[in-house]
Structure formats: C-alpha cells, structure tokens
A and B are shown apart, each in its own frame.
Chain A
Amino acid sequence: MTIKETLTTRPARGVDAQALLDAIRSVGVTHVLTVPDTHQRTLLALLAETDTPKLITVCTEDEAIAINAGLYIGGARPMLLIQNNGFYACLNTIKAIPLDAGVPTFMLIGEHGRDLTRPSRENAELSVRMLEPTLEIWGVPYYRLEGPEDLGNFERAWRQSQEQGGPVALLVGAPTSESARRQEE
C-alpha cells in the first residue's frame, strides 16, 4: 500500500488506545518520548502505567528529536508521541537530525484541532490542514491512522523509519479511545 492509498475522505474515528499500545510493543519500542498530545491522551494514560516501553515526558519537541537520536545511537528503539503544533515547533531539529543525519525517527502525530468529519486538508484550522503539505515540502514520509482499519500502518511506518533512516510520521486523525480492555476491568 502506498502512502497515497492510505489517504481517505471518510470521517476519522478513534483507535483503541490498548490496540495502539499493543502495536507499539509489537515492534519492540523501548522508549516513548512525548510532549503530551490531547488527541492521544488515553494512550498516554496507558503508557504512564507501564515500564515497557518507558515513557519520557520532555519539555519541547526539539528535545524529543535529539533524545530519540541519542537513544538510537546507544542501541535503543525509541519513538515520539507529539501533536501537529509540536511538529511545526521542531522543524529545524528535524532538518538537522532525522533528515540531514538520517536518524530513524518515528513520530505519532496527533491532529489537534481536527474536524473529524472532514479530510485533514479540508479543515479550517491551519495547524490541521497544513500538516500534510508541510510534511511533503520537507520530504517527511507519512501514513494515516484514520480509524481501527489503519492500524497496520503503524508497522509500515515504523519499518520504513528503521529501514530507510530518517523521519516517518503516522498521523492520528481522531482522539484515541478508552481501552476496551480497561473498560471491562
């Protein structure tokens, strides 16, 4: 499946937070670096309760990019969990470390402010509708997570970041839902 084929016009739907955590664990992620994202708060709640992977909350996305690189250099398998506004905030560091230096940098990016009924690019909110064009201008490959049926894109995006080096984004279109498993407990 190509990146273009993952684009969609259907309304975005929340992915079960536990299913997303399972996907994170399935590829062996050791550390999740975050500046908290409103869209992914139920996933963050699950991550806060576990040591595998280790959740590290940082002050800025610039730090997250650089710590991700340091962990990678040391043999760990880190990833980022941020939001669209944070992506814009750290563009210079993305330029230097994932792009210029080719460091595998996998980013779950929540589309904060998204009108779920409209495709990302047709949203009124600038921080939403400019995300895909900004990624494209900077040459950052991306996949979409518009609903549970897109969960397979997690592994695709992760694998691309690790095999090709550099940044790859997985865009989280709708807020992650409460874990069904947790609700049953």
Chain B
Amino acid sequence: MVHSPDVLKKAPTGIDGFDEITGGGLPQGRPTLVCGGAGCGKSLFATEFLIRGALQFHEPGILMTFEETTDDIKKNVASLGFNIADLVARKKIFIDYVRVERSEIEENGEYDLEGLFIRLDHAIKKIGAKRVVLDTIETLFAGLANQAILRAEVRRLFNWLKDRGMTTVITGERGEGALTRQGLEEYVSDCVVLLDHRVNGQISTRRLRVVKYRGSTHGTNEYPFLIDEDGISVLPITAAGMDYAVSTERVSTGIPELDQMLGGKGYFRGSTILLSGSAGTGKSSVAAYLADAACKRGERCMYFSFEESASQVIRNMKSIGVNLEPHVRKNLFRFHATRPTVHGLEMHLALMHKMIEEFKPTVVILDPVSSIQNAGTLEDSTSMLLRLVDFLRRKRITGFMISLTSAANKSMEATDEGLSSLVDTWLLLRDVELGGERNRLLYVLKSRGMAHSNQVREFVITSHGIRLVEAYLGEGGVLTGSARLSQQNREEAERQRTKEELARKQLAMEHRRKALEVQIESLRAGFLAEQEEFAREAANSQMRDEQAEMERKAMAKSRRVR
C-alpha cells in the first residue's frame, strides 16, 4: 500500500464504537451520508457527532436542521445527557433551523439556494466551525417544486462544503429501493452509513452498517447499536477470534467438594462453564456459590438473569446460606435482570458487552442461556453465545452459563450439544426419582485440561449450603436421598448384628474354654490320686515281700536248729 502524504484523514465522532469500526471516524473535510428509516436514530447520530466534536475534539459545529426547531433539538438531546444550550452559548455549536413550507412559498422563475449557502457560510465564520450537519436536507425537496434546480444546488452545496473542508454529516430518509428518497447517495461518494431499525418477531434491533467508505477499510458487518442515556453506542462484535491467552490459574467454585471433583482446585480462570439441569435442580445455587466465592476474594461478579429479579435471587440464595447483599453494597456484585424477549439477540449481546466493559467483572453468570434461545433461533443464539464466550475468554472472565434442560428429555446431554464445544467444563445436574423421592445428582461431564472426578455425587441443598455427598452405588444403581439413608441404616444394622454375634460367640468360647479347663483339672486330680494309690500299693507289696523273706529266713533258721 502506498502512503501518500494526503492519505485520508479521519474526524473522530466520539460515538462509542463507531470510530473503531471505521478505523478513526468519518472522512475529514468530506460529506458523509447517514441514512435510514424513520426513527432509526440518524438525527441523533448526527447531533452526537457535532456535540462530541465540540466537547471532545474542539471542533465547533453547525447544526442546520430542516425538521426540528432549535427548542426541539435542545429538548431531545437533553434527554440524552447533553447540554447543548451551554455549547450554543459558548459558541461551540450553532443551530440554524431552516423552515421551508411549501404552502408559504410561491415559486416564480429562476432561483438558487444561495440563501442557504450564505447562512451556512455566516455560521461557519461566526464560530469557526469544522463540522456541519444537515438534518435532513431532503425536506427541501418537499418544500420546493423545482427538482432540477434543487438537485443542482444540493450537489453544489456538498462540493462547497468539501471545498471549505467541513466534515459534514447529511442525513437522509431511506427510500424505496434506494438508500435515500432523493438519491442523495449519488452526491455523497465518500462515506455512506446506513442505520436500520428492524423488528423480528416483535423484537426490535437497531443496526448500523458502513455501506461505503471511499479510501478506507471499514467493517462491513451490520453492527447492533443502542441508544441510551449516554447517546449512541455501536457495538463492534467481531466474530470468533481465537488468539487469546489462557490461564492456568484456578478459581474455587465456592463448594469445597466440587473443587475436589475438579482436580481439587476448581475451575480455570477465564474458562467457560456450562451447568445444565432440569428445573429445580439447584443450578442457580451453584452459580450463587461461585459468585459468593469470587466476591469474597474481592473480585467482581456480574449476574445476568433472564428469569428472576435481583431481589428474588438474593432472597432465595439467603435461604441456602449465601448472602449476596453485602457484595452488592460493596459494588462487587452486580445484577442485571431482563426478559430475553425485551431485545433481539444482538442487542442482548451488545448490552452485555457494554455492561461487562463498564463493570469489569472476573466472573460472569448467565442464568439461563436456554431462555436466550427463546429470543431467536437456535443457530442464532448459539452463534451469539459463541461470540460472548470468545469475548469473555479474551477478557479472562470466567463465564458460567446455566442451561435449563427439559425434564422430559431423556438424553439431557444432547440438548446442549451446540454449547458443548464452547465450554471447557460441563457440569450436569440430574434428578432421579426413587422411592417416592426426587433427588439431585451432580457429575462432571467434561472438564478440559484437568483431572476431574468421574463420580456421580448426590447434590444436597441444606440451609447451611450445598453438600456433595458420595452417592450410594449398589446393585440397584445409584441410591439417593432417603433410599441412600435407609440403605445406610440397613448396612449399619447389619454391621451391628454381626458384631453382636461375634461377641456372643466369643463369650461362648470363653465359657467352653473355662469348662474344659475345669475338666482338665479334675482329670489331672484323678490321675494324681491313681498315681498315689499305685505308689502306695507298690510300697505295700515290697513290704509284704520283705516280711515274707524274713518269715522264710526265720523258718529256715528254725529248721536247722532241730
């Protein structure tokens, strides 16, 4: 690319986001056509361009209005927080209301629009203007009959403004089959911006597109924009850029047992978590814990609710031991509740961007994303969420999305298939009905980049908080709730019984041992007695033998003597 010294200079508009998509603003010293249907915000765009030019870029401007009186304009912009009267008083802005009423004007012969030129010239000189707005010059075509003269004069006017180096915004009403009713786009060849206000399924979205920008690159997409108390914000939402750095830092889920299941440390910072589950499984509670944990670390958390109001969520969370109120007071926790059908998807996305940029949270909770899908088609909402996720990742914001799955749907895991590839961690809350009870189970379906538990845990909500109890896994499958408790009781009783049995057996054995010992003792005593008896008998027999000997000897002795 050749950079000539007279490369196109740009005049910043100061309109939030617009300068980004045009790479610096409107072509300096040239006319730009801003066109669109009634109520699309073109006059506001033009006015804001002037006011911001005067306030931020020290470029005084002329507002030549053909439709609204000076008073009307003052009122209109006052509602957007601009004090135009002050700017007029300080000679930063000059408002000239040009009234052309066909019924009051008789045309007779040749004329030109020199009067308009003189007025503009006078005003430009008076305040040293650099910017001019003509809103909307097409009114002239309604007020004056001679179209040939008008066309020539309008063309001359644009050139005249260009010669004077005025950065000009010309507004034009959108026409049938053309950008403007009077074909003004023929005369403005430098830059054309199209504003649009579309209603789709009763939901309106404002969009802006740079149709043409001679000599400059520009975003060609349609960008949603909004008009709020700060004026216009164009929200350049670029499609999936994947060049973001990832973090290895971990953030606690706020539930120690869940941290444990996620490799002992919790989520990755800046990752995206999807929690899906059917109605009433306690999804919001898990989110509240995450929010609470973040706020307790002193980080900011933004909660987008599409179903419940702020006070409702805060009250409900109090009942499970999470008090978010102090965080709200400390401005660590911000809650934004809107109905998904209030805006179109793009607008939701745009608003979220704006609020996230403003609040700078580290954790963003969307509750639930499934209702966003109600505001558009499934494809649209998936692409919108994709862009939101990309945005969050780039900002290293931990995104927590809640998805409501229909309880009737057996394959819950399939419901959020579109979202699956977007998320890093996918938690599933399921309820099981068993023994006349409904209980909740939580498990980690996937979690990229960490060793996570494969366990199915029972998810118990108490007034003290959430607990993840190891579920009973038996022959009959997973037992939860009372079934788990009764099973546990049964097992305990069984154990007790076995223990008692054992003790009893041991006692019996002892008795038996004692009995045996007694028996052994008595036997031994008998034996000893026998032994004594034998010894005594042996001694007696010896004595008898000796006596017999003695008697035999005595007898023998007596025989010899005779």
Q: Do A and B come from one complex?
A: no
Residues of B at under 8 Å CB distance from A?
none
